């Protein structure tokens, strides 16, 4: 079997660590792992498949001889090193938002548009976490009746803000239980026992940057250039796994039974839809795995061509690290 030299840019962060874990878990054909991070992490060790690997400081030279670079760093880091990665002859599968809307860069969810990965010119973008989960949940329905528009509300776990977000929720809960004030650092407001209806900065017409990602990225992934999405993104005091409520508007009526039949066979989807027996997707059930759960499928009472559904997925895995590695797997075939 052919093996590949794989670098992880941002190897010490939450997504980078998850990428390394999933590379081993999925038995990706790694001949050599090159973990890359800042100077302060260089020289430290991590374990991959039972062996210690030394973290290197990122540099242009570090990409020489690398086949695939998995990006788990912020936009500025991705933008800084992308030219060196491409010049070294590697393919950069980037989890940041830096290149997602670049017309020359494929934006890929392997269950939806795997062929787009072959069109890369050295960079492939991984979509936003909520976009991946939502599009995976609804794309099979788009194949039987084109989706004209969506209204979505996301309920996003604190792990979407990284390790600091998870620590803040835990620390605030502990402090409040002891009668102490909740210290606010990572989020704009206390997140324990609260909801924050803003993720990202204001972008256009009162929508945040996070909310507009589903609008623009959904168009590109599902090849629906006229798709319109009204989205509200909310940070919730859940540790892991994002949930999304979706209203879908089609060009014709789609029955609940038809939708269930299609979604039961959809790649990357698990149908969990039995309200009478209290069976529906929840963050606790979807954390730590890579399938998007879909349920609460029902008619939209405001539109005869509409359906409503609820979906959940682990945004650290399928919404970030696993989707990147699935893209990399496409490159090896």
CA separation for the pair 111, 46 (Å, rounded): 31
* CB contact at 8 A, 107 and 217: yes
Q: Which positions are catalytic?
A: 129, 242
List of domains in the chain: 4-127+320-331 (3.40.50.720), 131-315 (3.30.360.10)
Check residue 333 and give its pLDDT. Answer: 87
Average pLDDT for 127-154:
97
pLDDT given at position 200: 96
Q: Does residue 96 have a pLDDT over 90?
A: yes
**In terms of DSSP bridges, do strands 292-299 and 306-313 run parallel, antiparallel, or are they unpaired?**
antiparallel
Is pLDDT above 90 for 202? yes
Report residue 49 as tokens: 């498949």
Place of tokens 């990357």: 268
For the chain, list the strands marked E by DSSP.
4-9, 30-37, 45-48, 51-54, 56-57, 68-71, 91-94, 123-125, 147-156, 202-204, 207-208, 228-235, 242-250, 269-271, 292-299, 306-313
| Whether the predicted model's global pTM rises above the 0.75 cut | yes
The pLDDT tens digits of the residues spanning 98-135 come to 999 999 999 999 999 999 999 999 999 999 999 999 99
- Distance, in Å, from the CA atom of 258 to the CA atom of 303, rounded to the nearest integer, reads 17
In tens, the pLDDT along 240-297 reads: 999 999 999 999 999 999 999 999 999 999 999 999 999 999 999 999 999 999 999 9
Q: How many residues does the chain have?
A: 333
Residue 322 CB contacts under 8 Å (≥ 6 apart), including other chains: 18, 22, 26, 290
Given a contact cutoff of 8 angstroms between Cβ atoms, the answer to whether 247 and 151 are in contact is yes
pLDDT of residue 71: 98
Mean pLDDT value across the chain? 97
> Could you count the other beta carbons within 10 Å of the beta carbon of residue 275?
11
> Taking Cα atoms as reference points, which of 110, 111, 94, 112 lies closest to residue 102?
94
The pLDDT > 90 percentage for the chain reads 98
Q: How many CB atoms lie within 10 A of CB 96?
A: 21
Q: Reading across the β-sheet that carries 68-71, which strands appear in turn?
A: 56-57, 30-37, 4-9, 68-71, 91-94, 123-125
Burial of 14 (0-12, 13-18, 19+ CB in 10 A): buried
- 310 bridge partner residues: 245, 295
- What is the mean pLDDT of the segment spanning 216-220? 98
Per-residue pLDDT band for 1 (boundaries 50, 70, 90) equals confident
Distance CA 98, CA 77 (A): 9
What average pLDDT does range 174-182 have in this prediction? Answer: 97
Q: Residue 194: is its pLDDT beyond 90?
A: yes
| List of E strands, 13-146 | 30-37, 45-48, 51-54, 56-57, 68-71, 91-94, 123-125
Q: Are 201 and 211 in contact (CB under 8 A)?
A: no
pLDDT for residue 16 is more than 90 = yes
Q: Taking the CA atoms of the chain, what radius of gyration do you get in angstroms?
A: 20
Write the pLDDT tens digit of every residue in 20-53. Answer: 999 999 999 999 999 999 999 999 999 999 999 9
């Amino acid at each position: 079997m052919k093996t590949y030299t794989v670098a992880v840019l941002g190897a010490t962060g939450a997504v980078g660590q998850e990428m390394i874990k999933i590379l081993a878990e999925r038995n990706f054909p790694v001949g050599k792992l090159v973990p890359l991070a800042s100077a302060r992490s260089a020289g430290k060790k991590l374990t991959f498949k039972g062996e210690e690997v030394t973290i290197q400081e990122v540099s242009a030279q570090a990409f020489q001889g690398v086949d695939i670079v998995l990006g788990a760093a912020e936009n500025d880091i991705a933008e800084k090193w992308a030219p060196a990665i491409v010049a070294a002859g590697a393919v950069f599968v980037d989890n940041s938002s830096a290149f997602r809307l670049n017309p020359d860069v494929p934006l890929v969810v392997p269950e939806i548009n795997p062929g787009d990965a072959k069109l890369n010119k050295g960079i492939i973008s991984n979509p936003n976490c909520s976009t991946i989960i939502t599009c995976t949940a609804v794309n099979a329905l788009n194949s039987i009746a084109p989706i004209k528009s969506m209204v979505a509300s996301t309920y996003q776990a604190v792990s979407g803000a990284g390790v600091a977000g998870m620590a803040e929720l835990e620390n605030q809960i502990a402090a409040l239980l002891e009668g102490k004030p909740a210290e606010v650092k990572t989020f704009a407001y206390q997140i324990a026992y609260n909801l924050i209806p803003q993720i990202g900065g204001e972008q256009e017409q009162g929508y945040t940057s996070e909310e507009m990602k589903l609008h623009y990225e959904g168009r590109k992934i599902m090849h629906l250039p006229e798709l319109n999405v009204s989205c509200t993104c909310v940070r919730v005091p859940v540790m892991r796994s994002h949930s999304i409520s979706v209203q879908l508007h089609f060009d014709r009526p789609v029955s609940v039974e038809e939708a269930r039949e299609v979604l039961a066979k959809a790649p990357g989807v698990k149908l969990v839809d039995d309200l009478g027996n209290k069976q529906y997707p929840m963050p606790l059930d979807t954390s730590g795995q890579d399938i998007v759960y879909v349920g609460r499928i029902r008619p939209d009472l405001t539109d005869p061509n509409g359906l409503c559904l609820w979906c959940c997925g682990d945004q650290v895995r399928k919404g970030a690290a696993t989707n990147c590695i699935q893209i990399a797997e496409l490159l090896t075939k």
